[in-house]
Structure 1
Amino acid sequence: MAWRGNLSRAMKELRILLCQTSPSSSATRSFVEKNYKDLKTLNPKLPILIRECSGIEPQLWARYDFGVEKGIRLEGLSEVQISKVLEDLVKAGEALKA
């Protein structure tokens, strides 16, 4: 899980969109509750934005250098799968810098 400390090196901003009450966002809500503190501690200067909106589909967005953004829909994914998606986004950001 060393990639968790590389978020701030790989991306400029992380946005998580979710609904406060919908079942489709339950895994995303749980992921945020369990992982936000750790991610923020390891990446104190990285903006990690949690955006709640009623009825929205859960999504994860990463903004990289030069305004490049990648978004992934999280509906139907488990917490472990969401963590894997975030890890893949970090690797994508590192590849952009190479």
Structure 2
Amino acid sequence: MSALRKALPQAVRELRLFGCQQSPASEGVRAFIKSSYPAVKKANPDLPILIREAHGTPARGFVRFERGVEKQISLEGASSAEEVERKIASLL
């Protein structure tokens, strides 16, 4: 089971995903949204999960922690939802 499918630490305040609607480089982000988002949201119902799709936007993931600390990771070229989950979980 992925770390994202369990309750996240209280220090995590927000999860943001950016990607392009059509770009092959954002395919993993789109797959994550389709397959993993419901389980992540169910495990973390009060956590804001923001999804931003715009043409030409590079695939990226952001985690915002308490006191405004943010970490980000490139999700470009991630080919599956599992790969996106692993990369985002590495920020925790």
TM-score by length of 1: 0.83
* Residues 30-56 of structure 1: per-residue CA shift (max 9 Å, x gap): 111100111001100000000111100
Partners of 1:8 and 1:46 within 8 A in 2: no
Q: Percent identity?
A: 41
Counterpart selection for 2:86 from 84, 87, 96: 84
Q: Offset of 1:78 from its aligned partner?
A: 2.7
Does 1:30 find its partner at 2:31? Answer: yes
Aligned equivalents of 1:76, 1:20: Cα separation in 2: 14
Q: Which has the larger radius of gyration?
A: 1
> Which structure has the highest helix share of the two?
1
Unmatched runs of 5 consecutive residues or more in structure 2: none
> Is the strand fraction higher in 1 or 2?
2
Q: Cα RMSD over matched residues? A: 1.5
Give, in whole Å, the separation in 2 of the partners of 1:81 and 1:26.
11
Instruction: Report the number of matched residues.
Output: 90
Q: Is the 8 A contact 2:17 2:52 kept in 1?
A: yes
Q: Unaligned 5+ residue runs, structure 1?
A: 91-98
In structure 2, distance between residues paired with 1:75 and 1:2: 20
